[in-house]
Structures are given as structure tokens and as C-alpha cells.
Amino acid sequence: MDIFRSLQDLDFPVGVVVSDADGVLNTYGETATSFAWASVTKLLSATATLVAVERGMVRLDDPAGPEGATVRHLLAHASGVPFDSGATLSAPGRRRVYSNLGIELLAEHVEDAVGRDFGVWVEETVIEPLGMSTVLMEGSPAAGATGSADDLGVLGRELLRPTLVGPELFAEATTVVFAGLSGVLPGFGRQENNDWGLGFEIRDHKSPHWTGSTSSPRTFGHFGQRGSFLWVDPDAGLATAFLGAKPFGEWAAQVWPRLTDDILAAGASR
């Protein structure tokens, strides 16, 4: 099976890296080229925050953001703050309100707790230890990173077999936090159970979705509006990084699930 057959008609550069925990399995396109990660940046920010939690410098129940909210609420997009500005939309823990602002408030809290710029903290605790040499963390901690698909694949392998965060905290981060909250998944509409972990979107049974119809409900990751994604399927033992030069649109909603299903089908036959 040509696992990349769904990409043959794309008329713009992309880079794709498929991995298991031990290394790269397959690649496609311009994997060494740097692209904008957009909201996939949140995976870096979430991981750096979890490192601070693991080291005892931040607690998940620390008050952060609007009144009544905590670090846990901000990571799980359950604080009620809007996407980028304006008044709080709901009380913490009531709705899943996807929010760049929430991640920016989280970064401010972590900065205060660790005593250094958040971008520097991300570099010191995630980018440098993993050897992600092309990744630059600039601008918003919610959407400002750039880097190659090769390096995003490195992050995928880390998330398949974590070394930066202990197993107990990582398990909490990649299971549903504040279960049962409804909300809008950007690009895919309202989801009755818009499930999220601690910075990681959890696939569960969302429909429609940007991963595949055969993806495990335990699949987690993130996609970005610049045409980027990283998913990690712990049941399949696979991760796939995708970066491209065209913003998210109908093309992605059609291509990404087909690509994912082809990768999973090939992986199942290993």
C-alpha cells in the first residue's frame, strides 16, 4: 500500500514523518523544511508546563487565569476565557472553550513560577533535550513555533515513549480532563463531548475529526490552522507529523483522515 497516495494531488509543499517509538518508519516530501506549526505549538507549551509540574515548580491546582480557574483548567481549555480577547465566556469547568488566550495566561503563570521567560523555558526543557534543532519558539506560546516535520516527528516519538515527564503525570495529561464538556472543535464544529487532556486534544469518538475513522479513541495530539498536525496513537504505537505550506481548509478535512487511515492500515500489517 502507498500510504501517501492521498497526498499525490496536493499542489503545495508538505513534509510528513511517520514514526514508532523506536524511530522513523516512513517520510514524504520536504521533511527538513521549516514550516509554521500554528496551534501545534500548544504541544510544546503543554509539555514544557508538564515538566514544570513534574519538577514541583508548578501545581495543576495552582490558581491561574480568571477567578476560580487553575493551571488544569487552562491546559484543558476549560477556564472559560475566550479565543483571543474579551470577557470570560463561562465559569471554569462548565464548557470547553478553545482558547489561545488561555495558553498565553498559562505561559505567564509558568514564567512567574520558574523565574524565566516562557520561550526560554520551552527551549531548555523540551527543544534542547530532544535535539529539535530547527524549532524556534517565537511569538505566542499558543501558535508561534516554526520547525521541520523531522523535528515534529521527534516530539511524536517522545510522546510515544516519554522521557521528559513521568508515567503518572503523562497518563493524566493524555486522558480526558473535565469529562463531558461540550464545545466547538475549530474547523470541525460543535462536539457534544469535546474531550481534551492537559494540553492534548483527545480523539475519543469525535465526529467529524481530523484523524482517521480507524484511529484509536485514545489518540491524542493537535492540529493547526497553518495546515499542520501531530497525532499519537498509543494503541497502534504510531505517531505522524504533518506540516505544509497551505492553511487548513476543506482540503485538510478530506485528506488528513484518509492519510491517517492508510498509515494505520499499513502499521497494522507490520
pLDDT at 45: 98
Q: In what order do the strands lie in the sheet with 145-148?
A: 34-36, 145-148, 136-137
pLDDT at 269: 54
- Residue of 21, 44, 18 whose CA lies nearest to 157: 21
- Those residues with Cβ within 8 angstroms of residue 235's Cβ, 6 or more apart along the chain or in another chain: 216, 218, 219
pLDDT at 267: 85
Whether the CB-CB separation of 125 and 51 falls below 8 Å is answered with yes
pLDDT at 87: 86
Q: Distance between CA atoms of 197 and 72, rounded to whole angstroms? A: 9
Q: Distance between CA atoms of 19 and 154, rounded to whole angstroms? A: 9
Local mean pLDDT, 10-residue blocks, the chain (270 residues): 93 97 97 98 98 98 96 98 91 96 98 97 98 96 98 98 98 97 94 97 96 98 97 98 97 97 83
Q: Distance between CA atoms of 33 and 244, rounded to whole angstroms? A: 10
pLDDT at 270: 56
What is the chain's alpha carbon radius of gyration, rounded to the nearest angstrom?
A: 17
